[in-house]
Structure 1
Amino acid sequence: MEILVMAGQLILGLSILVGLHELGHLLAAKAFGMRVEQYFIGFPPKVWSIKRGETEYGLGAIPLGGFVKISGMIDESLDTAHTNAEPQPYEFRSKPAWQRLIVMLGGIIVNVIVGILIFVILAYKNGNTYLATKDAKYGIVAYDLAKSIGLQTGDKIVKVNGKYIVDFNEIRSSDVLLGDNSYYTVERGGKQLDIYIPNNFADKLIGKKGDTEPFIAPIEPFKVGELAPGQPAQKAGLKTGDVITSINGKPIQFYHEFVEAIKPLKNKPIDLGINRNGSPLTLHMTTTPDGTIGFYRESLLKLTTEEYTFGQALAVGTNKAFQVVFDNIKGFGKIFRGEVSASKALSGPIGIAQNLFGGIWDWNRFWAVTGLLSMALAFMNALPIPALDGGHATILGYEIISGRKPSDKFLEGAQRVGMVILLGLMAFAIFNDVFKAVF
């Protein structure tokens, strides 16, 4: 069922984004009097279509892309039959270079607008709920990765790169983990010391399957939240709101202590001490083969909620949207410098479905991921690679500046090279996803 939810979210999200991206091209082309022959969401074979005026609108069977076919344009179809005839007034090639440039940028512009709108609406609707650093009063849980750079459980991180932080999430922000020469200032034993983060640390954060390795978490007092149906905790009588106080007599106060205590007890009977409405109880159960009992924790740390006016949401949402672009630039920089492995960092459709959308359908998460993908799609399409919008825009920019239009033969060759590059990247990403899923 989780696989179907992942696939459904991926297909819906990409269909929305690709449909709007191609709509940007279509509207710009029609605005300048160009003939648009086809507008499709998905790639062939054709599933359904309808013709309105000069344009055929349809759906393809492969829902991981889409296209707009504009008369007189050498595109991914590599249809060059028109190059042997005189340019017609309604063709792409007969229009001024600046109009063709706007048509090529139309999809990128729409994706940027959509990404910003999604982040603005989410900010206005949900505000910002976060753990203030001052309320993470017990310090951090340092997992193995954190310990490898010198952090310890119980440390209190007070500064990042020399600046005091308000939101605990700033500790794990992309500015820190994708930055260069970043460091934490921590309080330990009444003293402050600096812990430096290696420039290749982002590579270590990415697990073998493309997920994120545990790094830092706040030390959390907790109580029992939602119970998983049919699991040992529910069968033994654990209830939402119970506070776990011990496992086999070992005192438990914080969630990481519970995880550490139960992890080695796989498929074994345990005595679970709890406090229920002030009364101590002991429950008997057997853990699963994974060493769990089946409940979601509810943190007892105080959270801060900040609500935004529409003007504030506009600023916050726009900043979040463009942060996606900046993070992509930083990430590619890390890859090119050899600080992050491309095989770990790059994901195809399988990796996106698993690591971004997840197996639970949550609309807030769905729209947040869709907004992120919209900005990422705009960034990727803006790259100056032939066959991408950015490649077409680069060639048109040259034409505008030089006043010389490249030959149809050159454009056809560039399109072929670009298609080989894109197909190679797609094959690498899909193979990489499968490899990580299997191994």
Structure 2
Amino acid sequence: MTTILLTLLGIALFVLGLLVSIAWHELGHLTTAKMFGIRVPQYMVGFGPTIWSRKKGETEYGIKAIPAGGYIRMIGMFPPGADGRIEARSTSPWRGMIEDARSAAYEELEPGDEKRLFYTRKPWKRVIVMFAGPFMNLVLAVALFVGVCMTFGMEKQTTEVAGVQKCVFKQSDDAGDRDACPKAQQTSPGYVAGLREGDVITAFDGEPMKDWNTLSERIRANPGPAVITVERDGRELTLHPVLVRNEVLKKDADGEPVRGQYVTAGYLGFAAKSVIEPLSLGESVDRMGDMVENGVESLIALPSKVPDLWDAAFGDGERKDDSPVGVVGTARISGEVMNLDMPTQSIVAFFLLIMATFNLSLFLFNMLPLLPLDGGHIAGALWESLRRNIAKVFRRPDPGPFDVAKLMPVAYVVAGIFICFTLLVLVADVVNPVKIT
């Protein structure tokens, strides 16, 4: 019963965090739109039926039933057609999409709004309005992530020995029972040299070792005889292991293991002890930079994940732990977090990191230069600015505002792809979820 209640609490907290993230995103659009004099009739968190709303001034603020997004409605998102009309019906389905979008942008037009239309603002102002939403998510992601790093701390490997392996195992092999060595298995250099749990490695070949990454690199780069200085029970000892070559995980430029990629390097055969320590502001920002880089790489890799997702959802494929996770999957993970056997502050930190990752994903996803995403409107405004400046340089007539509405057929296709991908992730999250435990 307690497990169920904690799971429901985790899911409820995630839904609350989701609503806050959406509201925060739309607040960026709202404040900048009003700052530039654009009329905003609606500010809504969620989609579907309205469950609560209140009108303040000229804007209706409300919450809708489905917490899967949000929006603000700005007057005049698209310029009038070439004939100057806002609405003109057409038998062409593609043309109909364009005209429907243009008509919706003016459906709440009131007297005096002619000078308060979105499309009449200079391109740089429109860029700010559309960028402000994703930027708010980025601000929240940075604040949460850096805050966790500097207060709760992050896991960091040290030069203290947490355990010594008896045998040499390739890291690509199944872990199995690594305490039981087959007769033909080579004994690990660390075990032979007398390395023990609790030893702190202070020097390698006479060079002081103050952090794990430096020690790891020295071990990897120097197979063969080595001199290792350790501190044990307040005494300094010197060990003489002969490092062997072994298959180990590849490391990236930041010293982090690269999942599924292996190299042959020097091997000692011990596990480093991990501790959780608060990071400095500089270290936290560096970690945030790594998080952004990983997020960009994950976004680029999304198309390549579709076959594995399909197999996980409709076949007997394994759901990989780096598989894309949707709102349902993230809510499920949040429920699992609440049941982890960890101190309360660690659970809080874990949950905040989930929300930081979610907000970073919202930022990166919305910055894609595709309609109906914010990045698509930003791209349209930048293109308009470019062609107007080119016309000015070559003394050509002003081409006028770029009609983003003409891209609506493409936007529907993109939206359709997004919906299909979201449904695929949803099915995978339900039938074959990613589990942190």
Do these two structures clear the TM 0.5 threshold for a shared fold by scoring above it?
yes
Mapped pair 1:166 → 2:211: yes
In structure 2, the gaps of 5 or more residues are 79-96, 180-186, 191-200, 202-208, 225-240, 252-257, 262-268, 311-318, 340-346, 389-398
- C-alpha distance after superposition, 1:156-195 (max 9, x if no partner): 999xxxxx99358x99xxxxxxxxxxx9679897323242
**Cα deviation, residue 82, structure 1:** 4.4
**Distance in 1 between the 2:170 and 2:13 partners?**
33
**Distance in 1 between the 2:77 and 2:126 partners?**
10
Question: Corresponding residue for 2:124?
Answer: 98
- C-alpha distance after superposition, 1:342-365 (max 9, x if no partner): 555222122212346624173222
**Cα deviation, residue 39, structure 1:** 1.1
SS of match in other structure, 2:144: helix
**Cα deviation, residue 53, structure 1:** 0.6
Question: Corresponding residue for 2:158?
Answer: 132
In structure 1, the gaps of 5 or more residues are 159-163, 172-182, 205-216, 220-300
Q: Is the 8 A contact 2:249 2:259 kept in 1?
A: no
Instruction: Select the residue among 188, 191, 216 that pairs with 2:243.
Output: 191
- C-alpha distance after superposition, 1:78-104 (max 9, x if no partner): 462446989721111111111111111
Aligned residues: CA RMSD: 4.4
Mapped pair 1:123 → 2:154: no
What letter matches 2:69 in structure 1? G
Mapped pair 1:328 → 2:295: yes
- Give the total of aligned pairs: 325
**Cα deviation, residue 59, structure 1:** 0.8
The equivalences for 1:33-72 within 5 A come to: 33-72=37-76
**Cα deviation, residue 15, structure 1:** 1.1
Question: Corresponding residue for 1:413?
Answer: 409
Mapped pair 1:7 → 2:33: no
Q: Is the 8 A contact 1:184 1:194 kept in 2?
A: no
**Distance in 2 between the 1:187 and 1:149 partners?**
23
Q: Is the 8 A contact 2:249 2:260 kept in 1?
A: no
Q: Is the 8 A contact 1:325 1:376 kept in 2?
A: no
SS of match in other structure, 1:385: coil
What letter matches 1:193 in structure 2? R
**Cα deviation, residue 415, structure 1:** 3.3
**Distance in 1 between the 2:167 and 2:29 partners?**
49
The equivalences for 1:17-416 within 5 A come to: 17-73=21-77, 78=101, 80-82=103-105, 88-128=114-154, 130-139=156-165, 146-147=172-173, 166-167=211-212, 190-195=242-247, 197=249, 202=259, 304=275, 306-308=277-279, 312-313=280-281, 315-334=282-301, 341-343=308-310, 344=319, 345-355=323-333, 358-360=336-338, 362-403=347-388, 404=399, 405-407=401-403, 409-416=405-412
The structure with more radius of gyration = 2
**Cα deviation, residue 18, structure 1:** 1.0
Q: 1:190 to 1:69 in 2, by over 3 A?
A: same
Q: 1:15 to 1:65 in 2, by over 3 A?
A: same
**Structure 1 range deviating more: 77-86 or 406-415:** 77-86
- C-alpha distance after superposition, 1:94-138 (max 9, x if no partner): 111111111110011111111111122222222345341433352
**Distance in 2 between the 1:363 and 1:379 partners?**
25
SS of match in other structure, 2:71: strand
Q: 1:409 to 1:28 in 2, by over 3 A?
A: closer
**Distance in 2 between the 1:340 and 1:197 partners?**
25
Identity %: 23
**Cα deviation, residue 51, structure 1:** 0.6
Q: 1:39 to 1:144 in 2, by over 3 A?
A: farther
Q: Is the 8 A contact 2:37 2:116 kept in 1?
A: yes
Q: 1:143 to 1:391 in 2, by over 3 A?
A: farther
**Distance in 1 between the 2:290 and 2:221 partners?**
24
**Structure 1 range deviating more: 188-197 or 144-153:** 144-153
**Distance in 1 between the 2:12 and 2:168 partners?**
36
Mapped pair 1:429 → 2:410: no
Q: Is the 8 A contact 2:189 2:242 kept in 1?
A: no
